[in-house]
A and B are shown apart, each in its own frame.
Chain A
Amino acid sequence: MIEISGLRKNFGPKQVLRGIDIAIAEGKTLCVVGGSGSGKSTFIKCIIRLLHPDGGAIKVDGQDITHMEDEYALAAVRRKFGYLFQEGALFDSISVWENVAFGLRYLSDEPPSRYREIAKQKLALVGLDNVCDLRPSELSGGMKKRVALARAIAAEPRYILYDEPTSGLDPIMSDIINDLILHLKRKLAVTSIVITHDMKSAFKIADEVAMLYEGNFIARCAPEEFRKSDNPFVHQFVEGSGEGPIKMKIRDLE
């Protein structure tokens, strides 16, 4: 269970998160949507304290981690999480399979002799084989994303934070990844937050969809409701229309 109240985060004068309140129940999936630069990545980075919040409270399993400074305790909280980075963040000095198996040493009790086999299994889950011994620099963008996903789920964490798991993938592969996220949820009762721009995927995997706009969740509801929402902001986002209340800061085209 992740409970967040009044979460605020600024970068200099820029207020990115302005008092977010949300709770994600055990075993549920929250999809976060919102315009580019609206603070979605910032939001999930605060949850595992890659960023230090400027206000509010974050509780994981009832434990307040907002101002936790003890590195050891913080590491213990982070162990519960898997995190898929938007840009992958693969270690480029080691091979693909070593990347996937990286966390096993620290997060699981598996014997090292099984690492390669586990890495292979996880790579197969994201539709990759024969890439084990390549370097991350030899992969395509979508392949990197999937390797990063395999790495995030390898140690079977209880919470997974996905930053755009399907961006940069073709529609078929996107659907396979959606199924994988659903599978993890059903099989391992994973609680997750999924950031996505892909409304189709959001509707498929979410228990709840929330839309981030100007530092707050302006809408938060089940996918069916979200689709039919008469909130003009949400409506514009679902439709993907340039016309509406959300003004992206672009000079008007004459």
Chain B
Amino acid sequence: MSIFGLAGRAVLSSAAGIGRAALLVRSVFFWSFKAKIEWRQAFIQAVRIGVDSLAVTMLTSFFTGMVLALQAGSTTKNLFNEPIYIGILVGFSMVKELGPVLTAIVVSGRAGAAIAAELGTMCVTEQIDALYTLGTNPARYLVIPRYIACLAMLPILTVFADFSGILGGFLVSVTRLDVPSTTYRQDILTFMTTSDFMHGFSKSFLFAFMIATVCCFKGLSTRGGAEGVGRTTTGAVVLCMVLTLVLDYFATAILVSLGI
């Protein structure tokens, strides 16, 4: 097949995928209004996402905060002969960008993969069909609870990530760069506003929505046995990570133009 044929086929199949994902989102909205929400399932999922991802999220952002402080310290030392504005740099980077993005990436890799694999396995063993025969459906029993869980947990995890990143930066500033702890604190408290925090925080909802959509959709469209489940899972995680970064750019552009 020619390269154009291959490219054309790839474009068509992704367009079809987006269309079917949109149908899934539609049916999620439909059933959220038409039927009782499965709060128990949502709670179970939320706990699972929290337990799965909290430690890793905090650890990664802690070290990210540390490395940011180190880099900022060495750069400002070169430029101004002393490490300044470390708090501002770490604080802004964590709260506006790295907190939500790192959290989304960790959650994609842990909870997202788990969602895709679980729904994928259910798909190839006819458990999804069984839901239809037992008076419910996958949107209602599986997907909506996972949306709720992601939308509830990702922002919370993001706040934890923000804090542990700032804490990591603080630790390095104070112990390695000899910045007085009050300076670091004052940097953050004077220059950062609620709207900076809201900037990152609101992005985390977008990421949550994206992760739930991608992982549920990929899981529910699994075909062909154990191999299919493997393909689904890696595909979902990679797509989530790429989309996190892509969406982050566009969301930032929009938020900046709105002045948030």
Contact = CB atoms under 8 A, between A and B. Distances in A.
Interface in A80-125: 81-83, 85, 87, 89-93, 102-103, 105-107
Contact of A151 (B30, B126, B134): B134
B126 A85 contact: yes
- Which of B27, B122, B127 gathers most chain A CB within 10 Å? B127
Most chain A Cβ neighbours within 10 Å, of B34, B125, B133? B133
B129 A78 contact: no
B27 A82 contact: no
Contact of B125 (A45, A82, A87, A151): A87
The 8 A-B residue pairs with the shortest CB-CB distance, nearest first, are: A106-B135, A103-B134, A89-B126, A83-B133, A107-B135, A89-B130, A50-B129, A106-B136
A72 to B, nearest CB: 6
A82 B132 CA distance: 10
Interface residues of A, number: 26
B135 A89 contact: no
Contacts of B118: 93
Interface string B131-151: 011111100000000000000
Contacts of A155: 134-135
Interface residues of B, number: 17
Contact of B27 (A71, A93, A106, A152): A71
A85 B133 CA distance: 10
Contacts of A45: 129
B45 to A, nearest CB: 11
Contacts of B129: 45, 50, 85, 89
Interface of B: 27, 30-31, 34, 118, 122, 125-127, 129-130, 132-137
Most chain A Cβ neighbours within 10 Å, of B31, B132, B134, B135:
B134
A106 B1 CA distance: 50
Contacts of A83: 130, 133
19 contacts: A45-B129, A71-B27, A71-B31, A78-B132, A78-B135, A83-B130, A85-B126, A87-B125, A89-B127, A90-B130, A92-B127, A102-B134, A103-B133, A103-B134, A105-B135, A105-B136, A106-B135, A151-B134, A152-B133
Given A83-B133, A89-B130, A106-B134, 4 more contacts: A82-B133, A87-B126, A89-B125, A155-B134
Contacts of B31: 71
Contacts of B134: 102-103, 106-107, 151, 155
- Interface centre among B27, B31, B34, B126, by most chain A C-beta atoms within 10 angstroms, is B126
